[in-house]
Amino acid sequence: MLTGLFLSTLFFLSYCDEAALAEEDVFVITDANHDELIAKHPMILLELYAPWCGHCKRLAPEFAAAATKLKKAGSDVILAKLDATQEKKAASNYKFQGFPTLRFLREGHAIEYTGERTFDSIVQWVNKKSVPTAIVLSSQAEITEVAQKSKGFRVIAYLPEKKVKQFSYGIGLDDLFAHLNLYVVSDKSLWGDKKAGTVELYKEDEPVLSLSGPYGEKKSDNLACTGGLPFGYH
């Protein structure tokens, strides 16, 4: 009986060690380190969880494996978890109703994770969302070519260099705008009389919709709240 108990104890300790090692690449966010980690890492897939949640326990090994895979691949994205039942100050920064809730944080924006909760799906989704999608136009000829295309939805944003990444990550990777082809003009010599933050939307033969900025201010923080994308752009 003692031998059986001893072996059971060894097995339990071994299991705990393996579980700890499996999650070594998942960052743990607390009230104390939240702001520092968010500032240090521009892209984070965050899991808000509860220790008693069965779904969270099932997700844990998939989440940990994805974290290790991304780390080994040299990804700029980290995976992190936050115990929303204990670290309530940090958790208050995010919208969640149940557990686990996954949010992708990038350049100050938080969007819902919409992929499946498996190792492969997490890696594929994160890789897709971590790549800027806006194409930089560097000449008047390129701008004219995009403007004169007859098919598809095109968006040309006239932004200073410091806003390009925010636009590309903040809007360009949002599923709501996945059907839009995004372009950025950061060379001010190509702006003409346009102000910084001007966004032009093109759709086939319909009139060009021009939205004024400056992009990044609360009144026009994203395309969804600047007129609701009329002319069928949404």
- Annotated catalytic, 234? no
- Annotated catalytic, 53? yes
- Annotated catalytic, 16? no
- Annotated catalytic, 225? no
Q: Which member of 55, 192, 227, 234 is catalytic?
A: 55
Q: Which member of 41, 53, 109, 115 is catalytic?
A: 53
Q: Which member of 34, 41, 56, 213 is catalytic?
A: 56
Complete DSSP assignment for the chain:
-HHHHHHHHHHHHHHHHHHHHHTTTEEEE-TTTHHHHHHH-SEEEEEEE-TT-HHHHHHHHHHHHHHHHHHHTT-SEEEEEEETTT-HHHHTTS--SSSSEEEEEETTEEEE--S-SSHHHHHHHHHHHTS--PEEP-SHHHHHHHHT--SSEEEEEE--HHHHHHHHHHTTT-GGGTTEEEEEE--GGG-TTPPTT-EEEEETTSPPEEE---TTSGGGSSGGGSTT-TTTT-
The catalytic site residues sit at 53-56
